[in-house]
Amino acid sequence: MTKGAKAYLTFISLCGAALLGYAGYQYFTNIDLANWALELQQMVCLIVLCVLCSSLPIVVSPKQQALDISIISILAAIVVKARTQR
């Protein structure tokens, strides 16, 4: 791996970590504690959906080209509560 590629990997990873920190802060400060059971159930269901969609791509051709369907779970998670920090 070239030096440029390594620097790029590190930069993107740090950006991701920063975004994750921000999203986590937003989520936990805005969490609806009155409905925590429903919140938890939905969260678990979304995580299960996301794990399945990411783990099981659809093989679309005999040449083993696979279609990653994680967009299904991402879209569901983004639209569900209409909050990007979810």
Partner 1 sequence: MIVYFISSLFVVKKLDNKHQHVLNTPFIKTAFNTANLMIAIYIPGILIFGESGFQGELLPNVILPAALYTAMTFLINSTLLVIFFILSRKVKLSDASKTTKSILPNVLFAMPLGVLMAWLFNMEGGHWIAMIMLFPLLLARYAWSLYVESQVQHMRLIEAFVSSMEAKDHYTEGHSRRVSALAVQIARQLRYPAAKIKQIEIAALLHDIGKIGIEETILQKPNRLNLEEQKRIQEHPLIGVETVRRVGISEEIVEMIRHHHERYEGGGYPDGLDHTKVSFEAYILGVADAFDAMTSDRPYRTAMSTHVAMTILEKESGKQFHPDVVRAMRDYLYAQETPRVAQSQETTA
List of residues contacting partner 1 (CB under 8 A): 1-2, 4-5, 8-10, 12-17, 19-20, 23-24, 27, 41-43, 45-52, 54-62, 67-86
Smallest gap from Cβ 6 to partner 1, in A, equals 8
Nearer residue to partner 1 within complex by CB, 20 or 36 = 20
Smallest gap from Cβ 61 to partner 1, in A, equals 7
Distances (CA, A) of 35 to 32, 40, 85: 6, 9, 18
Give the Cβ contact number of residue 74 at 10 Å: 15
Q: Are strands 58-59 and 66-67 parallel, antiparallel or unpaired?
A: antiparallel
